[in-house]
Chains A and B, each alone.
Chain A
Amino acid sequence: MTIAAYIKQNKPILNVYFTAGYPELGDTGRTVLALQREGVQMIEVGMPYSDPMADGETIQNSSAHAIKNGMTIELLFSQLSEIKSEVNIPLVFMGYLNQWMQFGKEKFLIEAKKAGIGALIIPDLPLDVYETEYKELVEKHGLSMSFLITPNTSNERIKKAAKLSSAFLYVVSQSSITGTSAGVSMEQLAYFKRINDLSLEIPRLIGFGISDAESFNQACQYADGAIIGSAFIKALQRDNLEPSISTFIKSILETSR
């Protein structure tokens, strides 16, 4: 089943972002399995980057920490490969274009696929560069893409991002970096409605500023699910990893169902 079809079938989707190699280098696999056990439907695995332009303080700090721990892309792929047979929900890779470039344009896709990754989110990969330089390779290796749209994205451009996205469209809830939270404003409502009116085929997940059950439930009214990142990172406890994950996910899902 494609990731897009999976989302339609299992919505509303809770997609949780975490930084690989954080809090400890070896926590990547444990975190994926704990999230799956708690009933999360999808996981966004963040490859830490030294200069994460689109991310706020929380993810920037967890990333710096993970890099110090020794996290590399190669290690990430091998950590994910080790648990691959136990994972039965989609894994999405989130990282920056420079990391992909340095690892090797095609080698990256081959290894990502082998590690069980189904889709990629690369926030600084522009749509037109993707179309001319990457699309063919991504499709050749059977991976999907998710592109971001924001309140400042024109309808025409939303349609283009939707067309190029094969997993889901990443609806950035507000004009901000990650980790900034606020309730749903009138402006956001108009933006969500504007997207609805485009009757896009591709499923949509809302991210940025989703931090608790309330904002998650709100987001799910306007899309096929939502993504929680910074709030989850903040909830992680180094010496109490699985229980802290369980408590946080329960706080989202138990009030939702």
Chain B
Amino acid sequence: MTFQPTDQGFYGEYGGAFVPEMLHANVEELRQNYLKFSETEEFKKEFQSLLKDYVGRPTPLYFAKRLTEKYGSKIYLKREDLCHTGAHKVNNTIGQILLAEKLGKKRIIAETGAGQHGVATATVCALKGLQCIVYMGEHDIKRQAPNVSRMKMLGAEVRPALSGSKTLKDATNEAIRDWINNPNDTFYIIGSVVGPHPYPDMVARFQSVISEEIKWQLQEHEGRENPDMVIACVGGGSNAAGAFYHFMEDERVKLVAAEAAGLGVDSGKSAATSLLGTNGILHGSRTLLMQTADGQVIEPYSVSAGLDYPGIGPLHAHLITSGRAKSYPITDDEALESVLEVSRLEGIIPALETAHAFSVLNKIEHHKDQVIVVNLSGRGDKDLNTYIEHFNF
């Protein structure tokens, strides 16, 4: 089975570019150019040098001794939390800002949920001296306040999305509308493997550096390139796509996606898309989507702003429905428990999104020869307010 998209961006039945005509020219410009530019030696050199000297890559693959002792499998953590700005998101924004430059765009827009992608976009815009506007749901502006301040410090304008549940989906709608209104000078930096083709493939490629590094790092640690299992949380699915990328074709590597179950899969307050979703179209892509029988999108819920999204990227819809990847629903409470566990066992405070991936360790079987890589997608600084409230510190 292949997990690369067709020329039109289809992964099996998922993907494509279902955009109104107002966006056709923009999306087509990107489709024709993203590989042409990103595959040149010059581009690769610039991308890699920024990842190394600016982002701080390679990020360590850390053997988590105390988690290993607790669970019984050999557990490694891919430390994306150590990236500049505190999450994997910056791998992608570096790639896209270089593309924006090549295409001569002067104005950058982005959507953000947890604010990590917004911060990563504001950061590369500062780096390149480009105007930056970030759309963020009003609800998320409140629950991820530190990241809003960071974006402002970096010179970005943060515009609140006021429709729907005022979260990531609504911020994405507003960003798309902005792009429709400003088709000529504006580049839209999408923060996950979602949206119309070529975004899912483009973002997956920029994030694939994660699994590229895991391969040689695991070789150094274990004398083998492939782990038995890779676990990552999935909002739209960009950190998971990056962590899975170079293992997708090797069926011996189990791919595990942690999804936000919110208050519980059947509670009506959930974002467990692969379980609750059906085939539909969201943000320009055919994918699994939480919706009513009448095709109206259901407002998702999760304590974690970065996972609070009613769809998943088309690559993940394909991986999961084909059986190549398995998804686990993780509730708010389970994730919060994992936050404390990882903090106290390993001295690492993870982001709320990332904590969902750790909770999977409680749901699988372990044995001592099993090598597991958990993608530690981001650090928890932005979630401190939630943690203080929840744990009554």
Partners in one complex: yes
Point out the residue from B283, B293, B296 that lies within 8 Å of A50, measured CB to CB.
B296
B295 touches A103 (CB 8 A): yes
Q: How large is the interface on B (under 10, 10 to 19, 20 to 34, 35 or more residues)?
A: 35 or more
Q: Tell me which residues across on chain B come within 8 A of A61, comparing CB atoms.
A: 163
Point out the residue from B16, B21, B169, B173 that lies within 8 Å of A150, measured CB to CB.
B21
B183 touches A175 (CB 8 A): yes
Chain A-chain B contacts (Cβ-Cβ < 8 Å), number: 111
- Judged by a CB distance under 8 angstroms, whether B24 is at the interface is yes
A51 touches B173 (CB 8 A): yes
Q: Which of B15-58 contact A (CB under 8 A)?
A: 16-22, 24-26
Q: Which of B129-186 contact A (CB under 8 A)?
A: 163-164, 169, 173, 176-177, 180-184
Q: How large is the interface on A (under 10, 10 to 19, 20 to 34, 35 or more residues)?
A: 35 or more
B180 touches A101 (CB 8 A): no
A126 touches B19 (CB 8 A): yes
Given that A98-B280, A129-B16 are contacting pairs, would A67 and B22 also be in contact in the complex, using a CB cutoff of 8 Å? no
B294 touches A73 (CB 8 A): yes
B280 touches A161 (CB 8 A): no
Given that A102-B294, A124-B281, A153-B21 are contacting pairs, would A53 and B177 also be in contact in the complex, using a CB cutoff of 8 Å? yes
B294 touches A150 (CB 8 A): no
Q: Tell me which residues across on chain B come within 8 A of A150, comparing CB atoms.
A: 21-22, 24-25
Give the distance in Å from the alpha carbon of A125 to the alpha carbon of B284 in the complex: 10
Q: Tell me which residues across on chain B come within 8 A of A153, comparing CB atoms.
A: 21, 24-25
B279 touches A101 (CB 8 A): yes
Q: Which of B287-301 contact A (CB under 8 A)?
A: 289, 291, 293-297
- Judged by a CB distance under 8 angstroms, whether A54 is at the interface is yes
Give the distance in Å from the alpha carbon of A75 to the alpha carbon of B69 in the complex: 59
Point out the residue from B20, B176, B181, B297 that lies within 8 Å of A123, measured CB to CB.
B20
Give the distance in Å from the alpha carbon of A11 to the alpha carbon of B38 in the complex: 51
- Judged by a CB distance under 8 angstroms, whether A216 is at the interface is no
Give the distance in Å from the alpha carbon of A191 to the alpha carbon of B329 in the complex: 51
A124 touches B19 (CB 8 A): yes
Most chain-A CB neighbours within 10 Å: which of B20, B173, B278, B297? Answer: B20
- Judged by a CB distance under 8 angstroms, whether A206 is at the interface is no
- Judged by a CB distance under 8 angstroms, whether A81 is at the interface is no
Q: Tell me which residues across on chain B come within 8 A of A98, comparing CB atoms.
A: 280-282, 289, 291, 295
Give the distance in Å from the alpha carbon of A180 to the alpha carbon of B297 in the complex: 25
- Judged by a CB distance under 8 angstroms, whether A60 is at the interface is yes
Query: Which partner residue on chain B sits nearest A75 by CB separation?
Result: B294
Give the distance in Å from the alpha carbon of A158 to the alpha carbon of B249 in the complex: 41
B294 touches A99 (CB 8 A): yes
A54 touches B294 (CB 8 A): no
B163 touches A175 (CB 8 A): no
| Chain B proximity mask over A51-76: 1 for CB below 8 Å, otherwise 0 | 10110100011001001000011100
Q: Least Cβ distance of A241 to chain B in Å?
A: 25
Most chain-B CB neighbours within 10 Å: which of A61, A126, A153? Answer: A126
B18 touches A125 (CB 8 A): yes
Q: Tell me which residues across on chain B come within 8 A of A149, comparing CB atoms.
A: 21
A176 touches B294 (CB 8 A): no
Query: Which partner residue on chain A sits nearest B164 by CB separation?
Result: A50
Give the distance in Å from the alpha carbon of A147 to the alpha carbon of B21 in the complex: 8
Give the distance in Å from the alpha carbon of A209 to the alpha carbon of B153 in the complex: 36
Give the distance in Å from the alpha carbon of A22 to the alpha carbon of B149 in the complex: 39
| Chain B proximity mask over A74-106: 1 for CB below 8 Å, otherwise 0 | 100000000000000000000011111111000
Q: Which of B248-304 contact A (CB under 8 A)?
A: 278-284, 289, 291, 293-297
Q: Least Cβ distance of A185 to chain B in Å?
A: 14
Q: Tell me which residues across on chain A come within 8 A of B8, comparing CB atoms.
A: 128
B295 touches A60 (CB 8 A): no
Given that A101-B295, A124-B19 are contacting pairs, would A53 and B173 also be in contact in the complex, using a CB cutoff of 8 Å? yes
Given that A50-B164, A53-B177, A175-B183 are contacting pairs, would A101 and B22 also be in contact in the complex, using a CB cutoff of 8 Å? no
A50 touches B297 (CB 8 A): yes
Query: Which partner residue on chain B sits nearest A64 by CB separation?
Result: B163
- Judged by a CB distance under 8 angstroms, whether A49 is at the interface is yes
Query: Which partner residue on chain B sits nearest A174 by CB separation?
Result: B181
Give the distance in Å from the alpha carbon of A202 to the alpha carbon of B293 in the complex: 36
Given that A50-B296, A53-B173, A148-B20 are contacting pairs, would A176 and B280 also be in contact in the complex, using a CB cutoff of 8 Å? no
Q: Tell me which residues across on chain A come within 8 A of B279, comparing CB atoms.
A: 101
B281 touches A152 (CB 8 A): no
Give the distance in Å from the alpha carbon of A61 to the alpha carbon of B162 in the complex: 11
Give the distance in Å from the alpha carbon of A74 to the alpha carbon of B295 in the complex: 12
Q: Least Cβ distance of B206 to chain A in Å?
A: 25
Can you list 7 A-B pairs with a CB-CB distance of less than 8 A? A98-B282, A99-B294, A102-B291, A124-B281, A152-B184, A153-B24, A177-B177
